[in-house]
Chain A
Amino acid sequence: MKSLRLLVAAHRLCAGLRHLPAVEPHVARSQLLRAVHTSSSPGPPVNTPPSNTVAPFDDAFAKDQRDKASFIQVLDLFCGRDVRRRGHIELIEAALRWMPQFGVEKDLEVYNKLLDVFPKEVFVPRNFIQTLFLHYPRQQECAVRILDQMEFYGVTPNKHTYFLLVQTFGKLSHPVKKYQRMLYWFPRFKHTNPYPVPLDLQADPVALSRVCLERIAADRDARVTVYQLPCTEVCDDGTVQEHSHLVGIQSPDQISLLAEHDTKYPVIVEGPFPLWLKKTCVQYYVLRAEPGAKKKEEMDPERSLYYPLSLDLDLERDLAEDFTFDVDEVEEGQVYAMCMAGSGDERTLGKWINCLQESNPILGQLPVLFRLTSGPREVSLPVQEEDGESHKKEEARESSAEEDEEETRQNRRMEQ
């Protein structure tokens, strides 16, 4: 009975504290529980305020100078203003929203600072019943949201995070549970990708192409050559000619393979093919042979001075030992070189072939076919950014209809 009363009191308290309806915590709780017990849906965590409510503290972040120092300054200002930290949830939620704009979304120190905004010890359950039920749900939910955002951006919490969470909510709280789960999975997944994409992708197209080509080629001997730097050239007749970048890669193995290419068959320039690096999509072109244009290799019997390279036996490998067959294996032509260019027109690619001819004289005798497509296009722009912008516009307006808000939330979730 006592617990029930407590629960009701908690509801009231929550409702009183925020300018939110009493339904809200309920929804939030189920959401929170889901967040704790299931993996969240892909995409950044939802912490956009309802479009029709005032977003408090937003103006505090709407500054010109957006960096870590000014972000922390806002938080410090808030903490110093009021011992009771009234409205800290609103502040934290606003802060979470603004973090990417300040470029601190991957900064563990800032997240710890955010968790530090919670008043200490007041939310720690004092008896087991409080522990059983969600004690101070709004606050716990808010802390889980912080951790959620950390999870999204791949920020691993540290000891200090744990210390803050324990100090604020106690050891048997949902945020601590979330913390523990994060710490269980994050280190395990940290190095799962054997080919990690560099953290900061360069904006320079040449440098970016270099990274991409080295990534596709997967051959340490492969040499990247920059055939052309992006520049503009003013012709004599006054027309301005744009030269886009042209970067190619070729390994010694490929050079020798190309040198052995049967001149009866043409080589093909094919592309563009897409390559995704995190959120960037780049396109590359390959120079390759038709499948089956391989020359038959003859083994010279007088080759090895010390031991026979082949046995003169009429016995084939037993089928049970033959693991070469693979249903996924499709015979492809050999790839002789790859390149990335700013523009995929035949002129640029023709220049590439000309440049390749320096190290591969055989290209002079080979017919080169260009098999260019318009290339894959992005089906749609990432939903997130569009949404964020529309919401920002909406945030400027004011609205108080609670049902609307509920609907928008649902919609948003569906969109995601």
Chain B
Amino acid sequence: MTIFSSVSHKTMLEKIYCTLFQGAISFNGALVGGRVPLIVRLEGFSSDLTSTVHNSPVYCRCRAELGDPIMLWAGVLEAGGRSASADMKDFIVNVEVRTQGFVLLCSCDLHFQEEVFPYPEISNEELEEINQLVGPVEKFFSEEVDSKAIDQSAKIPPETLKGLKDLGLFGMQIPEEYGGLGLSNTMYARLGEITSLDGAIAVTLAAHQAIGLKGILIAGNDQQKAKYLPKLASGEHIAAFCLTEPGSGSDAASIKSRATLSEDGKHYILNGSKIWISNGGLAEIFTVFARTEVVDKDGTTKDKITAFIVERAFGGVTHGKPEDKLGIRGSNTCELHFENTKIPIENVIGEVGGGFKVAMNILNSGRFSMGSASAGMIKKLIEMSAEYACTRKQFNKKLSDFELIQEKFALMAQKAYVMESMAYLTAGMMDRPGFPDCSVEAAMVKVFSSEGAWQCVSEALQILGGLGYMKDYPYERYLRDSRILLIFEGTNEILRMYIALTGMQHAGKILTGKIKELKKGSLSVAFEMIGKRLGSSLGRKINLGLTGKDGVVHPSLEESTKKLEENTYYFGSTVESLLYRFGKTVVDEQLALKRVADILINLYAMTAVISRASRSISIGLRNHDHEVLLANLFCSEAYHKNCFMLAQLGKYSPANQDDSIKKIAKHVLESRAYTCSHPLDRTF
């Protein structure tokens, strides 16, 4: 649906203003009201630019409310290939409203090429800058970090910590004005590749800046930023994120810590305890979430969660002894107790009672870097295990000559490639102007990369056989360290629900009208659907326009792209049927949602690798033929997995064994034991 509005153009080189029509924005037949993130497609018609602009629409992105002036950046206009000229008059803007983000687009089966094609790039200056940073960090990690000792003593030595601080690694994303490095998400991800070579250091750094100080960074006011960020950036103070409590994991309702306003109204008195706080023993600054009483609009008092900045110096903060963990042993994790800690009211992050949103934003924004971190670790593992496989001989043959060993290397390379592609695509999308919400994409990266990392580390250990099991080699440490990736920052199970449900919510908004019509028995809608189904089953070519003459994908990836398009198309109709069947109760269909999430992850991963490989081959990067191989291999594997899962999602599918699974689990859980008779038991 398009809305036409005339735009009085002002200074074209900087901004264009246009106003959306008052009233609702009509989108694909469904009404979308309220605050929506928009992607605005701009088609210009003017006397002299009609031909050029019209043929190739310019895509811009912004956030707007109905009736808001939409601001389009001139820079983006230029990137679209059009230099706006000042003499453009009577500019008519053809605004097409789209919801934002990859998932939303693909779960309602729309074009999404603008989002992810071409693969995001950074400028030469940025590349140079990051390379200058990477060199010393890499040197530091290879020469001065003794991961084995860190693991054994369960402590990062102070000199190592000092080295990290000197390199500025404690303030990677803090803006330069506050003394940090001011790195973009992409650059942060790049450094994450190296810091992940030691799990304990990576977790310490992540707990400090990905979650610990993120609250101040994204929701803090200028005074808070000015007060805390410089010291945090230099590493003089370490930050920690305190959310988890003994009775509360992902359930905010069971947070028991409480902050009560003091009588003079200037302080909050915080009481409560938190567990499993990374950096809990080292940190000076804590982002703490606690319940506060908030008076609602209607006058009732309610318990709501508020975020606070708590300094250790406020008093009453004690911590338990560091926990003894399976992996990431060098990182400091401990209990924290707050007893009558006095927090000045200036230290509330965001609004009083707005802590829930702050916590969610922090958690959502911290995940994307796990992809590059895992990829970095796997790349290192490939080097080490390849060294071994190419030197060790068995039966007068090198280990690397055995196909079963080769398979493992192919797997590791493939996983590393996909992870990297996903991670940098997401980081690139996050770096675009307007703070796009990429939390779903970040969650997909986290799920895929954590599971891939666990699998790859296990395979690398397997290549070494018995040696890999020994403490003399680092493999078992990597194995232990990587296990946490599946658990922290939201377990993969929970993130799958997040991915699937967010997709469902958006698809649902768009499809509600259609499905309701269908349920009412509207013949036209039914015929349309049947026709569509028939058409696709009779072999209609599904073409989303990624390939071909005007496509964005290199021809050598055409096969893979077709697979992606086919999967996307059928996924769209599967989502539709799921919504038809379950409506809003789909929340309870976790087994179906898990598949939806897995398909989405695969689709995103396919898109990422196709986009990246396409770019590599088009600009002629080194070894791009290898990349194409990896991309095609992954896409065809993922395609088959997707097809299977889509089949499972159908009703009456023989491949779907959910009922049996549920029944078995129910029986086991009822008796809380494995109840089968022993194979040696007899009845007579």
Contact = CB atoms under 8 A, between A and B. Distances in A.
Interface of A: 156, 158, 183, 186-188, 190-191, 220, 300, 302-318, 320-321
Given A300-B253, A321-B581, 18 more contacts: A156-B683, A183-B684, A302-B305, A302-B356, A303-B251, A304-B250, A305-B243, A305-B252, A305-B359, A306-B494, A308-B501, A311-B504, A313-B512, A315-B579, A317-B582, A317-B584, A318-B583, A321-B582
A317 B304 CA distance: 32
Nearest to A314: B512
A313 B583 contact: yes
A317 B250 contact: no
B139 interface: no
9 contacts: A304-B252, A307-B494, A308-B502, A311-B508, A314-B516, A315-B579, A317-B582, A318-B580, A321-B582
B619 interface: no
Contacts of A304: 250-252
Contact of B585 (A158, A191, A305, A317): A317
B127 to A, nearest CB: 35
Interface string B571-596: 00000000111111111000000000
Contacts of B253: 300, 303
Contacts of A310: 584, 587
A316 B587 contact: no
Contacts of A302: 252, 304-305, 356
A33 B645 CA distance: 60
Interface in B490-525: 490, 494-495, 497-498, 501-502, 504-505, 508-509, 512, 515-516, 519
Interface of B: 243, 250-253, 304-305, 356, 359-360, 363, 490, 494-495, 497-498, 501-502, 504-505, 508-509, 512, 515-516, 519, 579-587, 672, 683-684
Contacts of A188: 683
A285 B58 CA distance: 76
Nearest 9 A/B pairs, CB to CB: A315-B583, A187-B683, A307-B498, A302-B356, A307-B497, A313-B584, A313-B508, A317-B585, A306-B494
A25 B117 CA distance: 97
Contacts of B508: 311, 313, 315
Nearest to A220: B672
A315 B505 contact: no
A306 B504 contact: no
Contacts of A187: 683-684
B550 to A, nearest CB: 36
B583 A317 contact: yes
A302 B585 CA distance: 19
A408 B519 CA distance: 72
A316 B519 CA distance: 10
Given A186-B684, A220-B672, A305 B356 contact: yes
A305 to B, nearest CB: 5
Contacts of B305: 302
Contacts of B504: 311
Nearest to B593: A307
Scoring A158, A300, A315 by chain B CB atoms within 10 A of each residue's CB, the highest score goes to: A315
Contacts, number: 96
Contacts of A307: 494-495, 497-498, 501-502
B490 A311 contact: no
A321 B519 CA distance: 14
A308 B585 CA distance: 12
Given A191-B683, A302-B252, A318 B582 contact: yes
Contacts of A190: 683-684
Nearest to B249: A305
A303 B512 CA distance: 26
A42 B562 CA distance: 71
A312 to B, nearest CB: 7
A274 to B, nearest CB: 25
Scoring A190, A317, A320 by chain B CB atoms within 10 A of each residue's CB, the highest score goes to: A317
A308 B505 contact: yes
B145 to A, nearest CB: 32
B501 A316 contact: no
Nearest to B254: A303
A313 B509 contact: yes
Contacts of A309: 587
Contact of B515 (A183, A220, A300, A315): A315
Contacts of A183: 684
A403 to B, nearest CB: 44
A261 B672 CA distance: 29
Contacts of B304: 302
A315 B584 contact: yes
Contacts of A306: 250, 363, 490, 494-495, 497-498
Contacts of B252: 302-305
A186 B509 CA distance: 60
B251 A313 contact: no
Contacts of A311: 501, 504-505, 508, 584, 586-587
Contacts of B583: 313, 315-318
Nearest to B353: A302
Contact of B587 (A303, A308, A318): A308
A306 B363 CA distance: 8
A305 B439 CA distance: 13
Contacts of B519: 318
Nearest to B248: A305
A234 to B, nearest CB: 47
B227 to A, nearest CB: 27
Contacts of B498: 306-308
Contacts of A312: 505, 584
Contacts of B582: 317-318, 321
Nearest to B582: A317
Contacts of B516: 314-315
Nearest to A219: B670
B505 to A, nearest CB: 5
A316 B584 contact: yes
A305 B250 contact: yes
Nearest to A189: B683
A147 to B, nearest CB: 14
A311 B504 CA distance: 8
Scoring A304, A312, A320 by chain B CB atoms within 10 A of each residue's CB, the highest score goes to: A304
B506 to A, nearest CB: 10
Contacts of A321: 581-582
Nearest to A302: B356
Contacts of B585: 316-317
Contacts of A317: 581-585
Contacts of A303: 251-253
A47 to B, nearest CB: 25
Contacts of B672: 220
Scoring A187, A220, A300, A307 by chain B CB atoms within 10 A of each residue's CB, the highest score goes to: A307
Nearest to A188: B683
